[in-house]
């Protein structure tokens, strides 16, 4: 018999996928073969048609992957998989903290292995078919291994801290856990450009010249404090052209794909950057933060609250009910997966 927590979690999972499915279907219906009137004479019909084919292919693959992972998760859950794995790991009689981390790591690794074919297909079939892929199998494997190590180390440290808080933090352990996760999210935005992103890509400071002068000049006109401008070796993985900025405050960094620098004129590149800076000026990147903070708060609160009652599969709580393996695995597992996302 399902309890309240089970119903809430299941409803949340189904609602999340339903929203993604609805958005995907609407995007597919909106895609067309003809160039919109506003783009006539600007966007060649053949290129536009190909872009729409790419959109449909990528959207369909994403919906299929989302459905597959949802079915996989729910099937494993209702088949008693979480309880089964919990009993196995606890049978090794290791320290409680190590047991909890191993439990989540096994789930994380199993999920990564089962969904790896989607990444392979996306990179070496879809991207290759549309002429974007330059990723070699060696680079693909290296990216995944680097992401895996980062997820295990950084995610493991964070989870270990949360588990300790849940064991010794008392009534407000969930609040301390939420504050810790929020601090890590903010700190990660600050250190990622300097410490994490260079593990995947090479960033070369842009040399003085017409392009750099134009970028810095435009940044000044829109009051965009700019510390560094870099060129990223995006061509190592893809023929795509793009630009982005990371960081906040005075530690912002603009990065241009080398493909963008090679293929476009200075005014065109500045217009691309204007789009990216527009996100900053309109605070679009910050608008998602309150939602993320609320989701983490709910996750920590539910995890801590649920650790005082029986688990989904009626197994006894572990180590003075430090946390119930089933529900806690959802929130922490999803966070760990968010760390394992090497650049495409």
Q: Which residue has the tokens 């968010």?
A: 338
Q: Using an 8 Å Cβ cutoff, are 323 and 307 in contact?
A: yes
Give the highest mean pLDDT range of 51-60, 101-110, 268-277.
51-60
Query: Hey, is 213 helix, strand or coil?
Result: helix
- Taking only the tens place, the pLDDT of each residue in 159-192 is 888 878 877 777 777 788 788 888 887 787 777 7
pLDDT higher for 120 or 303?
A: 120
- The model's confidence at residue 279, banded by pLDDT at 50, 70 and 90, is confident
- The model's confidence at residue 310, banded by pLDDT at 50, 70 and 90, is very low
- pTM, two decimals, is 0.81
> What is the pLDDT, as a whole number, of residue 292?
65
Q: What is the 3-state secondary structure of 253-272?
A: EEEEEHHHHHHCCHHHHHHH
DSSP symbol at 230: E
> What is the pLDDT, as a whole number, of residue 339?
40
Q: Using an 8 Å Cβ cutoff, are 176 and 165 in contact?
A: yes
Domain locations in the chain as residue ranges: 1-78, 80-344
Please state, in angstroms and rounded to a whole number, the distance separating the CA atoms of residues 341 and 146: 10
The stretch 226-240 carries a mean pLDDT of 89
> What is the pLDDT, as a whole number, of residue 338?
44
Residue 341 pLDDT > 60: no
Please state, in angstroms and rounded to a whole number, the distance separating the CA atoms of residues 110 and 27: 31
Please state, in angstroms and rounded to a whole number, the distance separating the CA atoms of residues 140 and 124: 10
Q: Using an 8 Å Cβ cutoff, are 307 and 328 in contact?
A: yes
> What is the pLDDT, as a whole number, of residue 295?
63
- Taking only the tens place, the pLDDT of each residue in 76-109 is 888 888 888 888 998 999 988 888 888 888 888 8
> What is the pLDDT, as a whole number, of residue 286?
64
- How far is residue 4 from each of residues 286, 300, 321, measured CA to CA in Å? 33, 17, 19
**HSE toward the beta carbon, residue 144, CA cutoff 13 A:** 15
- Taking only the tens place, the pLDDT of each residue in 125-159 is 999 999 999 999 999 999 999 988 988 888 888 88
> What is the pLDDT, as a whole number, of residue 249?
61
The stretch 222-226 carries a mean pLDDT of 80
> What is the pLDDT, as a whole number, of residue 175?
81
Q: Using an 8 Å Cβ cutoff, are 190 and 248 in contact?
A: yes
Residue 335 pLDDT > 50: no
Query: Hey, is 80 helix, strand or coil?
Result: coil
pLDDT higher for 225 or 119?
A: 119
Long-range contacts of 263-269 (CB under 8 A, 24+ apart): 266/210, 266/211, 266/214, 267/214, 269/211, 269/214, 269/215, 269/243
Structure-token pair, residue 172: 């407000």
Please state, in angstroms and rounded to a whole number, the distance separating the CA atoms of residues 43 and 240: 17
Give the chain's mean pLDDT.
Answer: 80
The stretch 199-219 carries a mean pLDDT of 91
> What is the pLDDT, as a whole number, of residue 232?
94
């Amino acid at each position: 018999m399902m309890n309240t927590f089970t119903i809430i979690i299941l409803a949340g999972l189904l609602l999340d996928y339903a929203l993604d499915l609805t958005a995907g279907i609407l995007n597919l219906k909106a895609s067309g073969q003809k160039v919109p009137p506003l783009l006539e004479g600007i966007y060649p019909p053949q290129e536009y048609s190909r872009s729409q084919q790419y959109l449909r292919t990528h959207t369909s693959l994403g919906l299929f992957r989302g459905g597959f992972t949802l079915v996989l998760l729910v099937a494993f859950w209702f088949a008693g998989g979480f309880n089964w794995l919990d009993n196995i790991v606890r049978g090794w009689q290791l320290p409680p903290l190590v047991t909890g981390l191993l439990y989540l790591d096994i789930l994380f690794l199993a999920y990564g292995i089962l969904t790896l074919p989607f990444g392979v297909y996306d990179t070496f079939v879809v991207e290759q078919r549309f002429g974007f892929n330059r990723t070699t199998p060696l680079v693909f494997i290296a990216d995944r291994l680097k992401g895996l190590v980062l997820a295990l180390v950084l995610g493991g440290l964070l989870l270990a801290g949360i588990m300790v808080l849940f064991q010794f933090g008392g009534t407000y352990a969930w609040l301390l856990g939420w504050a810790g996760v929020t601090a890590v999210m903010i700190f990660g935005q600050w250190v990622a450009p300097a410490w994490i992103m260079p593990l995947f890509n090479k960033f070369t400071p842009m040399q003085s010249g017409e392009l750099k002068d134009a970028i810095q000049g435009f940044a000044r006109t829109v009051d965009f404090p700019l510390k560094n401008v870099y060129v990223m070796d995006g061509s190592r993985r893809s023929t795509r052209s793009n630009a982005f900025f990371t960081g906040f405050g005075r530690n912002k960094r603009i990065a241009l794909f080398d493909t963008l620098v090679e293929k476009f004129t200075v005014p065109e590149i500045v217009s691309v950057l204007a789009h990216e800076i527009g996100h900053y000026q309109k605070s679009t990147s910050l608008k998602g933060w309150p939602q993320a903070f609320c989701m983490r708060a709910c996750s920590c609160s539910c995890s801590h609250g649920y650790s005082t009652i029986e688990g989904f599969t009626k197994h006894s709580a572990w180590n003075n009910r430090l946390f119930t393996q089933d529900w806690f695995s959802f929130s922490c597992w999803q966070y760990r997966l968010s760390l394992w996302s090497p650049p495409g």
